[in-house]
Structure 1
Amino acid sequence: MSVFNVYPLYEVTPVSAKGIYVYDKNNTEYLDLYGGHAVISIGHSHPKYVEAITNQVAKLGFYSNAVQNPLQEELAAKIESLSGCKDYALFLCNSGAEANENALKLASFKTNKSRVIAFKNGFHGRTSAAVAVTDNAAIIAPINAQQEVTILELNDIKSVQRELEKGDVCAVIVEFIQGVGGLDQANAAFFEQLDLLCKANNTLFIADEVQSGYGRSGKFFAFQYYKLTPDIISIAKGMGNGFPIGGILIHPSIEAKFGMLGTTFGGNHLACVAGLSVLTVIEDDHLIENVNEMSAYFIKIANTIPQIKKTKGRGLMLGLEFDFEVANLRKKLIYEHHIFTGGASNKKVLRILPPLNIDKEHIHQFFDALVAALDN
């Protein structure tokens, strides 16, 4: 049997990793500035993370959500404490796509409406409703296209108001920093008016923090740069440092009912201890403070390189925009300089999504390699 061939692959085979480095089958060391799509938040093989998962799997790796699991309550309390999102409820699942799928379903339940507003260049996942609100026709199958979705331009608040006033919109979903789309952001006035319009029109405001959450933006959540209150916050990626886990934070105005959401694997014991260990390291190692310090240092150096036309994003969710497509540059960085970086739907943007414990030495290693690659 073959593997279904849907991924274009680099000719690199990682077999181990530690901290911010990955090692291939030939023991070649790679600087990881992409973290497997922003998943590696506290560094590869962090000892507290490894210990937590090892100890838990030796006791109980899994049982279903038909029984009590105090680890879920512990994780919910820890998220509330570090994020400042008081009185939200936590529903756990396995991925960012599932998180957004459940967020959209919950919004439809709550409002008894079905249409969704999303935004150009947004990416929210590949499951049925999540992919329908993603601005990429190439990955939307006919069965997904049955969803009622209106995709608008960021910063066009008049169009949003016009659509919301039609009265059939259950949710507005938005990334506060677009990930796959290329690190674009709307302005503060747009986000804050969007929140007010949702509340005035019985529409739930979903903050997609799948990539930007857990400190990556320089705050625990990227929406916290603005004066607004999401009804639902979707989380995943850096939440488990590689262990599959996702979830939604649900505003107390939304009432739970038995059976409205469900999952087999979501919130399992191993996932919860992975999530708890990540939060412990973020707190104990002051990683959000490090994000802001390293971000400022990275941007300062980036601004000295003339080929970089714009630095986009916040925190350690950054994009370097050039006046040429970066596919060949990424290949040079990985094959000649042994550095992982990311691309975006904006083909001129190089995405930088390192573990949150990156330091200045790693940043210098990257820019030395970048300058060399640009000069060749």
Structure 2
Amino acid sequence: MPLFNVYPLYDVTPVSGKGVYVYDDKGAEYLDLYGGHAVISIGHAHPKYVDAVSRQVSTLGFYSNAIKNPLQKELASELERLSGCKDYELFLCNSGAEANENALKLASFKTGKSRVVAFKNGFHGRTSAAVAATDNPNIIAPINAQQQVTILDLNDVEGVKAELEKGDVCAVIVEFIQGVGGLDMATADFFERVDALCKANNTMFIADEVQSGYGRSGKFFAFQHYNVTPDVISIAKGMGNGFPIGGILIHPDIEAKFGLLGTTFGGNHLACAAGLSVLHVIEEQNLIDNVNVMSEYFIKIAKTIPQIKEIKGRGLMLGLEFDFEVGDLRKKLIYENHIFTGGASNKKLLRILPPLTVRKEHINMFFEALIGVLAEFENKAVEA
């Protein structure tokens, strides 16, 4: 049976990984500066992660949410302590799309309203309401388009104000650093005024931290760079270092009721073991401090390269923008230099999302390769 052909694939077959490296079926080593869409937070095959998951699967891998699971409470407690999101409550699911889906559903339950405000170049997932709130018509099927969503420009405070005052908006959902859209960020004034507008209009403010969370921005959550208090915070990707896990942090003003939300696999024993090991490693290895040091080092070097027209993002969620499309550049980096990088809907942007354990020597390797490829491109242009 063939696989349903929905992914354009690079001709690379990773079979193992260690730290910031992956190894293919021919034994070649690749520097991973993309982390599988920012999923690999503490490095491939981190020994504490491997040990935690292995020990858990050897005892109990799964049972449903019909029984008590102390690992869920432990995960919630550690997440509250390390994130600083005091008194929020945790609902666990399996992915970022599910997290945003549940966040939007909860907002609709809480407010009794159904319309959503989202933003241009935003990406929130591929399921029903989450994909409707995503600014990409190519992935929105007619069944998704039935959702009531208004897409506005980032920084359009007056637009948000006008929409919320109509009285039918249940949620405003925003990435504090856009991921797939290309690492754009709104201003502090915008985020803070939207937060206030939501509170004044019985509208839930949802912080999509699926990609930017868990230290990647230089704080535990990207919204913590601003003076805002989200009603719901969605999390996933780096939360499990590769194990499928997601969740939402829910403000205590939102009351839980039996049956309000539910999941079969969410918060299972293996997922919680993986999630706890990630939090422990982030704390023990001071990885958020490392994010800030490595980010400063990366940006300092990037500023010296004239072909880079703009540096976007923050922390280790970075984008390098050029005046040409980067598809061929990415191919050169992966096939000739054995370095994984990412793309975005902005075709001129190279995305950098390494494990939070990345070091200066890895950044040096990347820039040495990048400078070489850029020089090669310029030589070809001169010859032409």
Aligned to 1:300: 300
- Residue type of the alignment partner of 2:15: V
Q: State the one-letter code of the partner of 1:290.
A: N
How far apart, CA to CA, are the structure 1 residues paired with 2:28 and 2:301?
A: 27
The 5 A counterparts of 1:1-376 are 1-376=1-376
- 2:380 corresponds in structure 1 to none
- Residue 280 of structure 1, CA deviation: 0.2
Q: Secondary structure at the match of 1:337?
A: coil
- Residues in 1 aligned to 2:309 and 2:100: alpha-carbon distance in whole angstroms: 33
Distance 2:311 2:194 in 1: 26
Counterpart CA distance in 1 for 2:152 and 2:106 is 22
In 1, distance between residues paired with 2:231 and 2:56? 33
Instruction: Indicate the SS of the match to 1:59.
Output: coil
Deviation at 1:89, TM superposition (A): 0.3
Whole-Å Cα distance in 1 between the matches of residues 354 and 31 of structure 2? Answer: 9
Deviation at 1:313, TM superposition (A): 0.2
- Distance (whole Å) between structure 1 residues aligned to residue 112 and residue 309 of structure 2: 46
Hey, what's the Cα distance between the residues in 1 that align with 2:51 and 2:150?
A: 46
- Quote the offset at 1:21 in angstroms: 0.2
Q: Which runs of 5+ in 1 are unaligned?
A: none
Specify the SS of the correspondent of 1:297. Answer: helix
Amino acid at match of 1:217: S
Distance in 1, Cα, partners of 2:228 & 2:11: 44
For residues 297-327 of structure 1, the C-alpha deviation after alignment (integer angstroms, 9 at most, x for no partner) is 0000000000001110010000000000000
> Residue 82 of structure 1: CA displacement?
0.3
Distance 2:346 2:188 in 1: 23
Q: What is the Cα deviation at residue 236 of structure 1?
A: 0.1
**3-state SS of 2:280 partner:** helix
Cα deviation code 1:229-248 (max 9, x no counterpart): 00000000000000000000
Shift of residue 101 of structure 1? 0.1
Supply the AA of the counterpart residue of 2:318.
L
Question: Percent same amino acid among aligned pairs?
Answer: 80
- TM-score w.r.t. the length of structure 1 is 1.00
> What is the CA-CA distance between 1:173 and the residue it aligns to?
0.1
Q: Tell me the CA shift for residue 155 of structure 1.
A: 0.3
Q: CA deviation at 1:366?
A: 0.2
- The one-letter code matched in structure 1 to 2:323 is D
* AA partner of residue 168 (structure 1): D
Partner AA of 2:288 in structure 1: I
**1: CA distance, partners of 2:16 / 2:357:** 18
Per-residue deviation, 1:166? 0.1
How far does the alpha carbon of each residue in 1:88-114 deviate from its partner, in whole angstroms, 9 at most, with x for none? 000000000000000000000000000
TM-superposed CA distance for 1:357, in Å, is: 0.5
User: How many Å separate the matches in 1 of 2:58 and 2:162?
Assistant: 56
Q: Secondary structure at the match of 2:58?
A: helix
State the shift of 1:125 in Å: 0.2
Query: Could you tell me which amino acid in structure 2 is paired with residue 205 of structure 1?
Result: F
CA-to-partner distance for each residue in 1:7-66, whole Å, 9 max, x for gaps? 000000000000000000000000000000000000000000000000000010000000
Q: Which runs of 5+ in 2 are unaligned?
A: 377-384
Shift of 1:206: 0.1
Give the AA of the match of 2:269.
Answer: H
Task: Give, in angstroms, the shift of residue 351 of structure 1.
Answer: 0.0
1:283 is matched by which residue type in structure 2?
A: E
Cα deviation, residue 255, structure 1 = 0.2
Counting matched residue pairs gives 376
1:197 Cα shift? 0.1
Aligned AA (1:256): A
1:335 shift after superposition? 0.3
Query: What secondary structure is seen at the aligned counterpart in 2 of 1:144?
Result: coil
Aligned AA for 1:150?
A: T
Aligned partner of residue 202 in structure 1, secondary structure: coil
Partner SS, residue 247 of structure 1? strand
Give the RMSD, CA atoms, in angstroms. Answer: 0.3
Deviation at 1:156, TM superposition (A): 0.6
Paired AA for residue 61 in structure 1: G
Q: Following superposition, which runs of at least 4 residues in structure 1 exceed 2 angstroms of deviation? A: none
